[in-house]
Amino acid sequence: MALTFYKYQGTGNDFVILDNRNKQITTLTTEQIRNICDRRFGVGADGLMLLGEKAGYDFEMIYYNADGNESSMCGNGGRCLVAFAHEIGIHRSLYNFWAIDGEHKAEIESNHTVRLKMKDVTSVEQHSSGIVLDTGSPHYIKLVPDAAVIDVYKVGREIRYSNEYKAEGINVNFVESLDNHTIFVRTYERGVENETLSCGTGVTAAALVSAHNDNGFNRIEVKTPGGHLSVEFDKMDDDNFQNIWLCGPAVLVFKGEINV
């Protein structure tokens, strides 16, 4: 089967996207998705997404990790899918789409910037060595003095496969505070099972726990190995965050065809 695909990236977090509005793609196996995402034998990507139709929404997002398994919400993937929707003729001033964690809104600004509204967060768990919260995907936040020197693969993998988290898996973020409004984040992603250049839900989680105001509006600038993002939100209290927007670039890399 020949598939026309689009390759997108958002701060180095890259994705293969397939237009499935005609519902022709119904038989992709875990192995086929894994092969498409393989960086030596396939297109190469951190994940694969299908854009489909859903009644009452502009489109539906279905996301698969590079290991071929359907996964939880991907923030950078959602932003890239909105850019793709615009590319194929779905033009809205405010997008409204459905993903695995529910409804999302998004806006496209100038210079390929996409703003994606994330789900509200109502629980932040303080652990002895880290902070755990769910921003559409589960994240473990470890605050560190120098994120650049961390062995993300080794330490992230140890936490991800620890007895507490190995069954469901967890994404692990190493967060360095650069100033009151800026953080540097590196992420080990489950499903990719390695460090990625950026992780949208991880950046969002890291920003929430780095809020600079006791309550009210916050904007956190986030540096990642793949580029710059920002997160805007209203902090209600230490466990509750609303109106969360993940903002950053989403860029078409190339279009092609692959036989699977």
Return the sign of the alpha-carbon dihedral for residues 170, 174, 178, 180.
positive
Examine the residue annotation and report whether 199 is marked as an active-site residue of this protein: yes
| Gap between the terminal Cα atoms of the chain | 5
| Three-class secondary structure of residue 38 per DSSP | coil
**Active-site residue, 37 included:** no
* Alpha carbons 143 and 131: distance in angstroms, whole number: 9
CA-angle at 48, arms to 229 and 2, nearest 5°: 140
**Pairwise CA distance, residues 132 & 135, whole Å:** 10
Name the token pair of 228: 């710059």
> Is residue 47 within a helix (H) or strand (E), and if so which, with residue range?
strand 47-52
- Active-site pick, 37, 80, 199, 247: 199
Q: What's the CA gap between 95 and 80, in Å, rounded?
A: 13
Phi-psi category of 188—alpha, beta or left, where left has phi over 0 and alpha has psi -120 to 50?
beta
Catalytic residue among 37, 74, 80, 247: 74
CB 215 within 8 A of CB 206: no
The two structure tokens encoding residue 195: 């460090």
The encoded tokens of residue 54 equal: 């859903």
Task: Report how far residue 44's alpha carbon sits from residue 150's, in angstroms, rounded to the nearest whole number.
Answer: 25
Strands 194-196 and 216-224: unpaired
**Which residues are catalytic, by number?**
74, 199
